[in-house]
Structure formats: C-alpha cells, structure tokens
Amino acid sequence: MDEELQNARNKVDKEFASAKESLGDLYVAIEALRSAGPDDEFVDLLHAVEDAAKKARTGGVLGSGAKSHRKALKAYNELIEARGEAQVEEQ
C-alpha cells in the first residue's frame, strides 16, 4: 500500500475510534433517561441525550465525530477506486 493510501486508511481508523469513543457520553445520557423517575426533569434528560448524539455525530467544537469519519472514509474509498481504475487501464 502506498503512503497516500496508508495515510488515508490511518485517518479513517483514527476518526472511527474518535467517533466510537464519543458514544460513551451518549450511553450515559441514555441510561440516565432510562432510569429517570417521575420526579426527574425528563425534558432536561432528553436534551442531554440530544446533545450527546449531536457531539457523536459532529464531534463538537474540537473533536471528530461521525461526519469526520464519513469524509475520511469517502476520501479513502475514492483513492481505492482511482487506484483500481488505474490498474484496469494499465492492463
């Protein structure tokens, strides 16, 4: 695998790990919502779930989220496709 393709693959892996890590906050928020009782502020708990889901999706201000993973994966797949087309043309 050439260096450009390897770098693209490393970015996919890094972005995936980062997005997956952010799911921890989402699980915590969902568990708080699930275990809520009638005296808890249900709307606030729902907002916490929404905020955690948004951070997992977008990565927040500084982080990487699922959108960054999508971009990295698209770039990686485009490189693979371009390499495949180049190999077909050579033959």
Angle, CA 77 vertex, CA 19 and CA 12 arms, to 5°: 25
Stated length of the chain: 91
Residue with more model confidence, 55 or 85:
55
For the chain, give every domain's residue range: 3-90
Question: Among residues of the chain, what percentage have pLDDT more than 70?
Answer: 88
Instruction: Describe the crossing of helices 42-58 and 3-34 by its angle, rounded to 10 degrees.
Output: 180
User: What is the average per-residue pLDDT within 51-72?
Assistant: 86
- What pLDDT is recorded for position 85? 66
Are 57 and 15 in contact by the 8 Å Cβ rule? The answer is no
Are 91 and 41 in contact by the 8 Å Cβ rule? The answer is no
Q: Is the dihedral of CA 65, 71, 73, 76 positive or negative?
A: negative
pTM of the model: 0.74
Going by pLDDT thresholds of 50, 70 and 90, the confidence category of residue 42 is very high
Helices (H) and strands (E) in the chain, counts: 3, 0
